[in-house]
Copies of this chain bind each other. A is one copy, B any other.
């Protein structure tokens, strides 16, 4: 009989790292958190990541031998063949051979994933994706991430992760994006873009509730702050959020015209705080802008797993890769 295996999922975020150990039915056994502190440099972060993994195992009283493998989601594009993180600007990572480092230190097989791919896979397997044939994940937050599960597997390029939805051109000649180009979806519809418009509205005296909550400091405008300001009656803030959500829907409509997903899963900070607006506006944009034979059948769903989508997806993908059993897709 096969020895019972455990799987670990790790999500490396810009501010915190989350690690969790699951049994073979993906029941969560232990979950631990750690600050990322990306400014300390790649080496310090990788060391802390290793310690987090070892501590999580120890807390669960599971030996390394019993660990089937580890999936690690990273906030940037990755090479899916080599396990190199191409770039993670929040962490100052650039061509970091993370798989090699972790495998050498830990002696267990490691799978390196893009965090949004992992989160979309988590929702596909255990959440709002309903194990559909084609699931599109859209995660508007500080940036805008995307992922696609097609016939049970993450869509990626021959070498690299893809579905860089945030860098689709949606406003030709538009706002400056972090990538250096202009008019990317992310430059117009991320939390950062929304917050920038919102603090300008505060400055103009059009958002009294938000003035109370955040003043004109963009850093103070979190997703929940926007939600509170809208509930308190800031109509201009509501308009800014509706517009950003509709623009996300515009990009979604173009993607629907291309790959005809069965389910679009919306997640991330903005959607968690403002679910109704996001589901409504994305649905409206798809209805108005996608070809009707492609747009009509699409289900729009808010993500169900929150922060756990990533660690669940990572653990399940590690099991797919190293479990020796082939999943039917």
Contact = CB atoms under 8 A, between A and B. Distances in A.
A289 B169 contact: yes
Range of interface residues on A (Cβ < 8 Å): 35 or more
B168 A171 contact: no
A293 B255 CA distance: 20
B150 A134 contact: no
Counting chain B CB atoms within 10 Å of each CB, which of A132, A162, A255 scores highest? A162
A63 interface: no
A158 interface: yes
B291 A158 contact: no
Name the residue in A86, A250, A253, A289 with the highest tally of chain B Cβ atoms < 10 Å from its Cβ. Answer: A289
Given A158-B297, A171-B172, A289-B169, A164 B258 contact: yes
A168 B258 contact: yes
A159 interface: yes
B169 A259 contact: no
Nearest to A132: B158
A181 interface: yes
A254 B169 contact: yes
B291 A169 contact: no
Interface in A68-99: 77, 86-87
A155 interface: yes
Count this chain's copies in the assembly: 2
Contacts of A181: 288-289
Interface string A158-170: 1110111101111
A297 B262 contact: no
A134 B159 CA distance: 11
27 contacts: A77-B291, A77-B294, A86-B293, A148-B258, A157-B259, A157-B262, A157-B294, A158-B260, A160-B293, A160-B294, A162-B258, A162-B294, A163-B257, A163-B258, A163-B259, A164-B291, A167-B257, A169-B253, A172-B172, A172-B250, A179-B291, A181-B288, A181-B289, A254-B254, A255-B258, A258-B258, A259-B259
Which 7 residue pairs spanning A and B have beta carbons closest together?
A157-B260, A162-B260, A164-B257, A168-B254, A133-B158, A167-B257, A164-B291
Specify which of A148, A171, A181, A254 lies most central, judged by the most chain B CB atoms within 10 Å of its CB: A254
Interface string A121-156: 000000000001110000000000010101000011
B259 A155 contact: yes
A169 B258 CA distance: 12
Interface in A165-200: 165, 167-172, 179, 181
Contacts of A255: 258
A174 to B, nearest CB: 10
